[in-house]
A and B are shown apart, each in its own frame.
Chain A
Amino acid sequence: MSLRSRIASETAIVLATLAAGLAVGAAVAAGFHAPPLRVMATMLTSWRSLPDVVAEYSAMLALTGAAFAVPVYAGLFNIGAEGSFQLGALVALWAALKWGGLAAPIALGVAAGALLSGLAGWLRVRLSVNEVLSTIMLNWIVYWLLLYLVATKLEDPYNPQRTLEVPRSSRLPWITIGSTQIPSTIVIAAAVLAVLWVFLRMTRWGLALRFAGANEWTSRTRGVNVGLYRVASMAVAGLLAGLAGAIHILGYSHAIDVIGGAVKGFGYNGIGVALMGRNDPLAIIPAAVLFATLLTGSSLVEPIYGVPKEAGDFIVGVIVVLLAVPEAFRLLSRLRRR
Chain B
Amino acid sequence: MARGRRGASAAQVAAAILVIVVIAGAAAWWALGRSRSTATTTPAAQSQASTASATPTTSSASTTSAQQATGTNKKIKVLVLFDVGGKGDLSFNDMAILGAERASKDFGVEVKYLTPQSTDVMESLLRSVSKSGQYDLIIGIGFLWLDPMTKVAPEFPNQRYAIIDAAPQKPIKNLAAYVFREQEVAALVGILAADMAHNLGCNKVGAVAGMDIPPLWRFHIGYLYGVKYYDEYTHSNVTLVWTYTGTFTNPQVGKQTAEQMIKNGVCVLYGLAGLTHIGMFDAVKEAAQGGAKVVAIGEDASQEWYDPYHIVLSGLKRVDVAVYDAIKSVVYGNFTGGIHVLGLKNGGLGLSNAEMIKYFAELAAEQGKLPKGLTPDDVVNIVMKEREKLIDQTAWNLVHQLEQEIISGKVKFKTPANHQEYQEIIHQLEEGNLQAALETG
Contacts and interface: CB of A to CB of B under 8 A. Distances in A.
A147 B84 contact: no
A147 B246 contact: yes
Interface stretch (B114-122, B184-192, B288-296, B398-406): B114-122
Given A27-B29, A161-B166, A258-B211, A9 B115 contact: no
Interface stretch (B140-148, B227-235, B421-429): B140-148
B125 interface: yes
Interface in B87-123: 87, 112-121
Q: Chain A binding site: helix, strand, loop or mixed by DSSP?
A: helix
B47 interface: no
Interface in B22-42: 24-25, 28-30, 32-33, 36, 39
Contact of B119 (A24, A27, A53, A262): A262
A158 B87 contact: no
Contact of A159 (B86, B124, B146): B146
Given A32-B33, A258-B211, A325-B17, A49 B128 contact: yes
B214 A160 contact: yes
Interface string A20-57: 11011001101111000000000000000110110011
B17 A259 contact: no
B159 interface: no
Nearest to B81: A303
Interface residues of A, number: 59
Interface residues of B, number: 52
A23 B113 CA distance: 25
Q: Chain B binding site: helix, strand, loop or mixed by DSSP?
A: helix
A311 interface: yes
A56 B120 CA distance: 10
A116 to B, nearest CB: 21
A270 to B, nearest CB: 14
Interface in A137-151: 147-148, 151
Interface stretch (A75-83, A217-225, A291-299): A291-299
Contact of B247 (A33, A147, A303): A147
Interface in A153-175: 158-162
Contact of B117 (A23, A27, A31, A295): A295
Contacts of A264: 118
Contacts of B118: 261-262, 264-265
Given A49-B128, A303-B112, 18 more contacts: A20-B17, A28-B25, A31-B29, A32-B32, A32-B36, A50-B124, A53-B121, A53-B124, A258-B211, A296-B121, A299-B117, A299-B125, A308-B39, A309-B86, A310-B87, A314-B32, A322-B17, A325-B20
